[in-house]
Amino acid sequence: MPDIEPGSAAQPRWTKVLDHTRCIGCHACSTACKSENEVPLGVHRTYVKQVDVGVFPHVRRAFQVTRCNQCEQPPCVDACPTAAMHKRPDGIVDFDKSICIGCKACIAACPYDAIFINPDDGNAEKCNFCAHRIDQGLEPACVVVCPTNAILVGDLNDATDPVTRIIHREPVAVRRPEKDTRPKVYYKGAHQATLDPLAARRPEGGLFMWSEQGPVNSSLGGHPQSPNSSAAAILAWDIPHRAPWDARVSLYTWTKSLASGVWLVAAMCLVLGVLASGSTLWRWTVPLLSGVWLAATGGLLIWDLKRPERFWMIFLKPQWKSWLVRGAFIIAGFSAVLGLHLLGSVFDLDALTRVVAWIGIPIAVMTAVYTAFLFAQAKARDLWQSPLLPPLLLVQAVLAGAAGLLPFVSEAEFAVGANVTVATALRWTLAIACAAQLLMTLGEVTLTHSTAHAKLATFEMVKGRYRMFFWAGVILVGFGCFAPIAPVEYGALLGLLAFEHAYVQAGQAVPLA
Amino acid sequence: MNTDTKSKRLRAYPPKDQWDDWRELDSKSWPERVERRFALVPTGCFNCESACGLLAYIDKETGLIRKFEGNPEHPGSRGRNCAKGPASKNQVDDPERILYPMRRVGARGEGRWQRTTWDEALDEIAARIRKAIQEERRQEIMYHVGRPGEDGYTERVLAAWGIDGHNSHTNICSSGARAGYAFWMGYDRPSPDHANAKVIFLVSAHLESGHYFNPHAQRIIEAKQKGAKVIVLDVRLSNTATHADHWLSPYPGSEPAIHLAIARHLIHEKLYDRNYMRTWWNWSEYLASEHPKEANDFETFERILAELYDACTFEWASSESGIDVDTLREVAQIVASAGNRLSTHNWRSASSGVSHGWQVSRTLFFLNALTGSIGVPGGTYPNAWNKFVAAPIHRPPHPDHWNELSWPQEFPLSFHELSFLLPHLVGEERGKIDTYFTRVYNPVWTNPDGFSWIDMLRDEARIGCHIALTPTWSETAYFADFVLPMGLGNERHDVYSYETHDAQWIGFRQPVMRAYAEREGRKVNDTREVNPGEVWEENEFWIELSWRIDPDGQLGIRQWFESKEKPGTKLTGEEYYAWMFENSVPGLPERAASEGLTPLDFMRRYGAFEVAHKVSCVYAETVGVDEVDDIAEDDFGRIYTRAPSRQRRTSCRCPHRPATPTVAGRSVFASVVTSSAVSRRRRASSSFGRRSSRAGVGKRWPSQAIRVRTSIPTTSSLARSRSFRPSVCRCRSTRAAPTPSGSTRSRTRIRFGSIRAMHKGSRICAPGI
C-alpha cells in the first residue's frame, strides 16, 4: 500500500473528477476499462458521449465521460434484492457477481443508466472505480491511461487532496442531482448539453457519428422531440441503451393483476354476500384460477432473471429494502392464502375458506399493489414515480379479476339472497373498474408532469413508440365499460395487457445518460 | 508532467523494481481477492506512428498477455495512451489473424490459399531475388511500405542487396506538408514544442487524430491549462476544434491565404522578430538574386517584404476563405502575441491530396520564420533535432542504381516516390516487378484507384511474385502469392524515434513473450518460438532471406548480415541491437550501467531511453573544429562540409539565442529560409554524385550522408553555418536530378526554396505580386 498522507482521514471516501476542460473525447478510458475489466463487446462500463453544441461557425463538440456516479445514496443498492450491489465503507458502490440473480432492478433504479448485464455471465456490472486496483493502491485503469489527465481520482475525506480541492474550489457539477443520489463523480467544465440527457436533440433516424443505432428494445439517446436546452445541441455519439425490463415484465404485471384480482373480486363478493362460500366457483374455480395465474406470474419473474437458477437467493439472501424481495414475500404470502383456501376446499372446511377470505383480502391487495412500489424504486423512471400508481394497480386487479372470472361464471349462478346473478355483479364491477382505469389513465396523461422525463415518457406512451399499445388499451378498456350489456371481458383483458405494455415500456423509453 | 492534480494516495504504475514479479488482484474474480502474478514487459504500440510505450502484463500462470498498459518510462507517451493502446490486445486475440505462412492456390486473387512453410517461402523468394540480382534486374525488386514503424532497418536491408527498391505511401499522405517544410529548412517535418507554447496553431486535428496524437494531445492540453491559446484550422468539427479558442473552418485549400494574411499583419505592424530575421534569414542572397539594383541591406529587405505581401490583406483572405475579417484579425493578433513561443503543425489534412497543398505548411511555417519561433522553447523545431537515429552494426553503401518505377525522371520535382502511379508506370511497360513486397500497406484500399492496383496485382506478367508481409488479411494481401504473417507491435523488434516534443528519445519494440522467456532464463533463438502460430518478425526474416539470397557470400550481400563477434555466422537480432545500444546511443551504456544492466538489457526492461532533454536552439551552437571537413564555400559565404562520421546528440540548453553568435572570431549562422537543395545540388553535381544526395538512405547513416551547411554572409564577416541535422524521414525530395541536364532542374529547385517562391510559386497570393 502506498503511504497515506499525514492529516488525511484513515478511511478514504473515493471520488472522481472528470475534467472536461481537458477531455479530448478520445475514448482511451473506454478501451482501457474494457481491457482492465474484460468487458465484452456491446456493453460499456464507461464511454464518452458526444454532443455537438451550437450553430456554425460557433459550434463545438462537448464530451461527457459517462459512467457510474458512485452515489452516496445509491438507488441500485436499495433496489438490489440480494445485496450484490453494495456500498463499501470507502464509498465505492461495488458489486458481487456471485450473488447477482440478474433481475435488472439495479438497472431500472440507476438514474444514470450506468449498469448493464454482462452478456457472458448474466450478471449486473458497472464501473466500480476499479476497486481491485484501489485496494492495491493503484489508480483506476481509466485514470492511468488518460492522455490529458482528464480523469482524476481522490479522497473526499482528505481536504488536502488535490482532487477534493477541485471539488471544493472550482465550479463542478453532478449529473441529475434531483434524483437525490448525491453522486461522488464530479464534472468540471462539462456542458449542460451533455449533463442533461434530454438537452440534446436525437439525430434523425438514429444516425450517429460513424454509426447507426437502434437494435430491438433499445432507447436511443437524445430527446426525440423538444430538447430541454434552448441552445442548439445534437447528440453526435452515444452507445445504445436498452430497456432492462422487456415484455415479460409487462406480461407479469398483467398475470399478477389476474392472479390477485380473480381472488380479490371473488373474496369481496363472498364478503359482501354476493357469492356463496359453498359454491363451486369459490371453492375450486377461484383458488385454482388464481393459482394458475400466480404460477404464471412466478414463472415470468424467474424467466426474466438473467441468472434464474439463483432465484432462491431472493429468499435466502434477502435485502429487505428491495421491493423485489418484499414483493416475493408478499407473493409467497398470497400463495399461502391460496393454499389455505384449497385446503379448506379439499377438506370441506367452509369456515376456513371464509376466514381465509377475510385474511386474504389485504394480502391480495398487497399482491396487486406492491408493484407500484417496485416500480417507484426504479428511481430512474419518472413516469413510475406517480402517487396514482398504487390505486391504479388496484383498479387493474379488480378489472382483471372481474374479467378473468366472468368466463367461469354460470349465468344461472345467483347470488346468495339477492335477485342478481354473480355474473351481473361481475359485469358491473368490470364496467366500473374499466371506467376507473380510463379516468386514472386520463389523469396520468393529462396532469402536468413534474419532470421532463415523465413528460417524455408520457409522450412515448401516448403519441410515440408505444401509442399503438396505449390506444388499443384505451379503446378495449373503454369497451369494457359496456360490460353489463355486451360480452367485452376478453377485450378488456387484452386492452389491459396492451396498456400495461405501453406503460412499462414507455416508462423506460427515456434516455438517462 | 502535469501531476499537480493527481492524488498522492494512489500510484499509476507498479514500482519498477517489481516488474519481474508483479502481483495484482484479478478484476474478473472480484470481489474475491484472487492474486495474479505478472511479468511486465515493455514494447511499442504499432497502431500509429507515435509508437507510444506499452507495458505487456504477462500472466505467469497462463503464460498469456493479460493486458497492455502504458509504459511510464517512455518519454513521448509518459505512460499514457490513446484508445488504440490498450486495444492492442484485440489484435493479439483476433480470431481472424494470420498464423501461418500461406501461398496462393489457383489464379492470383481467386482467394484460395494453402498453408506453406517458412522454408519453402524463403527458398522460393530468395531464388527469385538472387536470379534478379545476378541478371542485373535489380530494379525489379521492390519493397512497398505503408507505416514503417522503425528507423532504418529495412532500408539497410535494401541497401545491402544493392537495390533501389524502397517505395512508400507518402505521396498520398504527408508529402505535401513535407514539401512545404523542407523548402524552408531542409527538414521535412515539424516538431512543435506545444507544452511550452503560448500560442498553438494547428492546421487539422491533432488532439484525437493526426501526428502525434497522444504525445501531442498531452502537451497541447498541458499548455492550454497554463493559458496557451489554441487556433485550429480544420474543415471538420473535430475534437480538436472543441478545444480551440478559435476554430476556423475555411474553404478547403484557402488555408494559405489565412496564413499569409497573418504574415502580412506581422510584417506591416512590424511585429516580427527583426533581430532573428536579420540574423538567420537569407535576405541578402535573396536581394542579390531578385533585386540586384537595390541596396543589399536589411532595411531594404524589410521594405520589399512589406511590398511583397501588401496585397494579402484580411479582406482578401476573408474572400478566399470565407472567414470574416474580424476573426482573422483577432487570430493574427493572437499569433503576434506569441512572441517566439508559437508552435505550429500541419500534417496531411489540408496539405494532402490537393494541388498546391504544400503551400499550406509552407505558409504556416512562414509564421514561425517571421516570429523567430523556430528551434526555441515553445516554438517549432525541425523534426531531426527532436529525433535520434542510432547507427546500426553494418552500414552497406547506398546502391548506385536508380528505380524508374518509383522515381520516374520526368517528375524531377516529385517530393516522394510516385507510388500511387505504380500501376500506371508498370502498365506503360516502363518496367516490370519481379518480386514485390508489401508491408503495412494496402494500396488496393487506400489509394484512390484501387482497381488499377487490382489489375496490376492480378497480372503475373507485371508482378512476378507478390509477397504480403502482414499480421492480418487485407484487400491487397488478397492478391498476393505469399502471405507471410508478421508480428504485431508486441511480437517484433524495432528501434524508432519520433519528434514528439523537445527532446530526443529512442523506443524499443520487442517480442514481449521472448523478452519474458529470457527474463525467466529460457533461451529463445527465433521469435517464432514465442509468437502465436508461426508468426515471425521482419528483422529475423530479412536476415534469413538475405542469407538465402547469397548463401556463399559471392554476391557481397551476406557480409551485411553476418555476426561481428563470430564472422561467418548469421547476425542475430540480439547482436544487432546489443551493438547499437552499446555503440550508437550516447548516454545509454552509462545509464544502463548505473542500474547494473547491459544497454540491451536496459532497453529490454524499460523499452525506451531519453537521449536528450530540451534540445533547444541547435542552430546557434558553434560548429566544432572536428566537424569541419572538406570545406566548400559558395558565393554568399556559405560553407559546406562533409558530415561528421557519427551522429551526435544535441545537448544545447541555451534559453536564449545569441544575438551575434561567434566562434573563433567568426559569426556562425544558419539560415532557415535557404533551401537545403542549394547545397545538395552543389554536392550532387560535384564530387559526390547523386548517390550521396539520395536522402532516403544517406540521411540515416551520417557517415555517408552529406550534411547540409548553409550560412549567409553578414556585412562584417564571413558567416559559417551550423550543420543542418539530417532529416530522418523517408523523404527523397532532395535528390538531385540524375542527368547532366539536371542542373537546370536543380536550379528550379533553388527558386522554390528561396523566399521568392513564396510569391511567384504560390497560387494563393493575390495577382500582381
Write the pLDDT tens digit of every residue in B534-551.
Answer: 999 999 999 999 999 999
Is the pLDDT assigned to residue B3 strictly greater than 80? no
Q: Which residue in the block uniquely carries the three cell numbers 505550429?
A: B344
Q: A153 and B2: CB-CB below 8 Å?
A: no
Q: Closest to A30 (Cβ–Cβ): which among B83, B217, B242?
A: B83
- Lowest mean pLDDT of A44-53, A303-312, B19-28, B668-677, name the range: B668-677
Work out the minimum CA distance from A33 to partner chain B, whole angstroms: 9
Q: Closest to B83 (Cβ–Cβ): which among A8, A26, A150?
A: A26
Chain A residues 21-50 with a CB less than 8 Å from chain B: 21-22, 24-28, 30-32, 34-38
Q: Which pLDDT score, from 0 to 100, does residue A73 have?
A: 97
User: Which segments within B127-245 are labelled E, that is strand?
Assistant: 141-145, 166-167, 190-192, 199-203, 229-233
pLDDT confidence bin for A503, thresholds 50/70/90: very high
Using the Cβ of A168 and the Cβ atoms of chain B, whether some distance falls under 8 Å is answered with: no
Q: B242 and A137: CB-CB below 8 Å?
A: no
By 3-state DSSP, what share of chain B in percent is helix, strand and coil, each rounded to 5?
35, 15, 50
Q: B87 and A31: CB-CB below 8 Å?
A: yes
- Lowest mean pLDDT of A247-251, B564-568, B697-701, name the range: B697-701
- Lowest mean pLDDT of A67-76, A362-371, B668-677, name the range: B668-677
Q: How far apart are CA A2 and CA A306, in angstroms?
A: 39
For residue A201, give the DSSP letter: B
Q: B25 and A132: CB-CB below 8 Å?
A: yes
For an interface test with B, give the residue of A4, A26, A45, A156 to mutate (most B CBs within 10 A).
A26
Residue of higher predicted confidence among B613 and B700: B613
Mean pLDDT within B32-39:
97
Q: How far apart are CA B255 and CA B361, in angstroms?
A: 9
Is the pLDDT assigned to residue B87 strictly greater than 80? yes
Q: Which pLDDT score, from 0 to 100, does residue B674 have?
A: 33
Q: Which pLDDT score, from 0 to 100, does residue A8 have?
A: 47
Measured from the Cβ of residue A443, the count of other Cβ atoms closer than 10 Å reads 12
Q: Which pLDDT score, from 0 to 100, does residue B675 have?
A: 32
Q: Which pLDDT score, from 0 to 100, does residue A211 have?
A: 73
Provide, as residue numbers in chain A, all residues whose Cβ is less than 8 Å from the Cβ of B321: none
Search chain A and give the residue with CA nearest B25: A132
With a pLDDT cut of 70, the percent of chain B lying above it is: 83
Extract the C-alpha cell encoding A210: 460513424
Q: Which pLDDT score, from 0 to 100, does residue A411 have?
A: 74
Q: How far apart are CA B485 and CA B472, in angstroms?
A: 7
pLDDT confidence bin for B4, thresholds 50/70/90: low
For an interface test with B, give the residue of A59, A135, A149, A167 to mutate (most B CBs within 10 A).
A149
Q: How far apart are CA B202 and CA B210, in angstroms?
A: 11
Length of chain A equals 513
Residue of higher predicted confidence among B763 and B528: B528
Using the Cβ of A98 and the Cβ atoms of chain B, whether some distance falls under 8 Å is answered with: yes
Length of chain B equals 769
Q: Closest to B86 (Cβ–Cβ): which among A32, A98, A138?
A: A32
Cβ-based neighbours of B454, under 8 Å, separated by 6 or more: B109, B444, B479
- Lowest mean pLDDT of A54-63, B1-10, B343-352, B479-488, name the range: B1-10
Q: Which residue in the block uniquely carries the three cell numbers 550521396?
A: B692
Q: Closest to A144 (Cβ–Cβ): which among B12, B82, B238?
A: B12
With vertex at residue B12, the alpha carbon angle to CA B7 and CA B15, rounded to the nearest 5 degrees, is: 120
Q: B25 and A133: CB-CB below 8 Å?
A: yes
Residue of higher predicted confidence among A147 and B700: A147
Q: Are A172 and A15 in contact (CB under 8 A)?
A: no
- pLDDT tens-digit readout, B561-585: 999 999 999 999 999 999 999 999 9
Provide, as residue numbers in chain A, all residues whose Cβ is less than 8 Å from the Cβ of B12: 138-139, 143-144
Provide, as residue numbers in chain B, all residues whose Cβ is less than 8 Å from the Cβ of A5: 8-9
Helix axis angle, A323-346 to A350-377, nearest 10°: 170
Residue B719: closest CA among B621, B602, B610, B638: B638
With vertex at residue B566, the alpha carbon angle to CA B564 and CA B567, rounded to the nearest 5 degrees, is: 70
- pLDDT tens-digit readout, B709-749: 332 222 222 222 222 232 222 222 232 222 222 222 222 22
- pLDDT tens-digit readout, B741-764: 222 222 222 222 233 222 222 222
Using the Cβ of A57 and the Cβ atoms of chain B, whether some distance falls under 8 Å is answered with: yes
Q: Closest to A163 (Cβ–Cβ): which among B5, B26, B28?
A: B5
Q: How far apart are CA B576 and CA B571, in angstroms?
A: 7
User: Residue B393 half-sphere exposure, CB side, CA atoms within 13 Å?
Assistant: 21
- DSSP-assigned beta bridge partners for residue A93: A87
For an interface test with A, give the residue of B1, B13, B23, B30 to mutate (most A CBs within 10 A).
B30
With a pLDDT cut of 90, the percent of chain A lying above it is: 83
Q: How far apart are CA B717 and CA B129, in angstroms?
A: 56
Q: A146 and B10: CB-CB below 8 Å?
A: no
- DSSP-assigned beta bridge partners for residue A478: none
Q: Which pLDDT score, from 0 to 100, does residue B730 have?
A: 25
Q: pTM of whole model > 0.90?
A: no
Residue of higher predicted confidence among B636 and B456: B456
For residue A66, give the DSSP letter: E
Provide, as residue numbers in chain B, all residues whose Cβ is less than 8 Å from the Cβ of A4: 9
Residue B537: closest CA among B478, B494, B480: B494
Residue A36: closest CA among B516, B95, B12: B12
Q: B218 and A148: CB-CB below 8 Å?
A: yes
Provide, as residue numbers in chain B, all residues whose Cβ is less than 8 Å from the Cβ of A161: 7-9
- pLDDT tens-digit readout, A145-191: 999 999 999 999 999 999 999 999 999 999 999 999 999 999 999 99
Residue B425: closest CA among B437, B416, B417: B417
Provide, as residue numbers in chain B, all residues whose Cβ is less than 8 Å from the Cβ of A56: 249
Measured from the Cβ of residue B1, the count of other Cβ atoms closer than 10 Å reads 10
Q: B7 and A36: CB-CB below 8 Å?
A: no
- pLDDT tens-digit readout, B496-509: 999 999 999 999 99
Q: Which pLDDT score, from 0 to 100, does residue B616 have?
A: 76
Q: How far apart are CA B26 and CA B427, in angstroms?
A: 58
Cβ-based neighbours of A69, under 8 Å, separated by 6 or more: A112, A114, A174, A175, A181, A183, A184, A185
Residue A498: closest CA among A480, A472, A477: A472
Search chain B and give the residue with CA nearest A58: B247
3-state secondary structure string across B460-504: CCCEEEEEEECCCCCCCHHHCCEEECECCCCCCCEEECCCCCCEE
pLDDT confidence bin for B21, thresholds 50/70/90: very high
Q: B69 and A137: CB-CB below 8 Å?
A: no
Q: What is the ipTM of this complex?
A: 0.92
Cβ-based neighbours of A204, under 8 Å, separated by 6 or more: none
Q: Which helix (H) or strand (E) holds B610?
A: strand B608-613
Cβ-based neighbours of A231, under 8 Å, separated by 6 or more: A53, A54, A193
Q: Are B565 and B575 in contact (CB under 8 A)?
A: yes
* Phi, then psi, of A301 in degrees rounded to 5: -60, -45
Mean pLDDT within B231-244:
91
Name the average pLDDT for chain B: 83
- pLDDT tens-digit readout, B50-69: 999 999 999 999 999 999 99
CA distances from residue A493 to A245, A430, A473 in whole angstroms, order as listed: 21, 10, 9
Residue A186: closest CA among A158, A161, A154, A157: A154
pLDDT confidence bin for B206, thresholds 50/70/90: confident
CA distances from residue A7 to A152, B236, B344, B475 in whole angstroms, order as listed: 20, 49, 45, 62
Is the pLDDT assigned to residue A17 strictly greater than 50? yes
Exposed, middle or buried, B476 (CB in 10 Å: 0-12/13-18/19+)? buried
Is the pLDDT assigned to residue B196 strictly greater than 70? yes
Work out the minimum CA distance from A397 to partner chain B, whole angstroms: 42
Cβ-based neighbours of A348, under 8 Å, separated by 6 or more: none
Using the Cβ of A147 and the Cβ atoms of chain B, whether some distance falls under 8 Å is answered with: yes
Measured from the Cβ of residue B624, the count of other Cβ atoms closer than 10 Å reads 10
Q: Closest to A5 (Cβ–Cβ): which among B8, B69, B237?
A: B8
Q: A35 and B208: CB-CB below 8 Å?
A: no
- Lowest mean pLDDT of A80-84, A491-495, B164-168, B748-752, name the range: B748-752
Q: Which pLDDT score, from 0 to 100, does residue B522 have?
A: 94
Q: How far apart are CA B342 and CA B361, in angstroms?
A: 14
Q: What is the dihedral of CA A217, A220, A224, A227, to 10 degrees?
A: 140
Q: Which pLDDT score, from 0 to 100, does residue A214 have?
A: 61
Question: What 3-state class would DSSP assign to A317?
Answer: coil
Q: Which pLDDT score, from 0 to 100, does residue B205 have?
A: 80
pLDDT confidence bin for B5, thresholds 50/70/90: low
Is the pLDDT assigned to residue B174 strictly greater than 60? yes
For chain B, counts of helices (H) and of strands (E): 26, 26
Using the Cβ of A160 and the Cβ atoms of chain B, whether some distance falls under 8 Å is answered with: no
For an interface test with A, give the residue of B1, B4, B5, B7 to mutate (most A CBs within 10 A).
B7
Residue A444: closest CA among A464, A465, A470, A468: A470
Work out the minimum CA distance from A240 to partner chain B, whole angstroms: 20
- pLDDT tens-digit readout, A193-216: 999 999 999 988 778 887 776 654
- Distance between alpha carbon B530 and the CA centroid of its chain, in Å? 30
- pLDDT tens-digit readout, A287-332: 999 999 999 999 999 999 999 999 999 999 999 999 999 999 999 9
Q: How far apart are CA B436 and CA B433, in angstroms?
A: 6
